[in-house]
Structure 1
Amino acid sequence: MALDAIRETTLKAYCRVDELSAEEEELFSALYNAAVGYMVQAGVREPPEYTPRRAQFDLCVNYLVLDSWDRRDVSFMGTSAAENPSFRRLLNQLKLTEPDVSNLDTSGSGEDEAE
């Protein structure tokens, strides 16, 4: 869940954030970690390598970070905001296509124990 330099650059570009103070850098990193945690708890594991699925995962994380970054204030003025439908579609697609791990051997032996 570490925010590497390349991922941080693309995330900041998505959020249209240029320079941050040291405190803001820590907050930005915490928001990223919280967003990745949200996705994992929602049933979507972080893909290990860059694939189209990873691009979708990253877009969902970007949305969550930007939403949290923009809503740092305690009060919210104006009409109530609705969730971005593009985010919801991506999250639903990722959840529905999450590889099934229930049939995988997690014992580490690589042998069928039913023999």
Structure 2
Amino acid sequence: MTEIEKVIIVEGRSDKKKIESLVKEPVEIICTNGTISRAKLDEWIEALYNKEVFILVDADEAGERLRKQLRREFPEAEHLYIDRMYREVAAAPRRHIAAVLLGANIDVYADDL
């Protein structure tokens, strides 16, 4: 079994489910569940070393705070953004999320969009 090279960090389970249903390639999706402890962050920093990390959080105040924290801890990560009008990843249309993922070279199931 090959090791998964791409990791997407999201806020909640509903975000994770939505992305899982769209992604066609092996990608690890990690939920922060809103906040992350220092210990958990240190664990992730070690586990995600040498992986392609993407950060896809909500376009709201809590999401921006989390994005700032993750930007400090994962300076190499690529930040993906949903349109502000949707506010939450889970609330954004599948087609919009698919476009965001495709823009980051993450393969998605395009046939059901």
Name the structure where helix makes up a greater proportion of residues. 1
> TM-score, length-normalised on structure 2?
0.32
Name the structure where strand makes up a greater proportion of residues. 2
Larger radius of gyration: 1
> TM-score, length-normalised on structure 1?
0.32
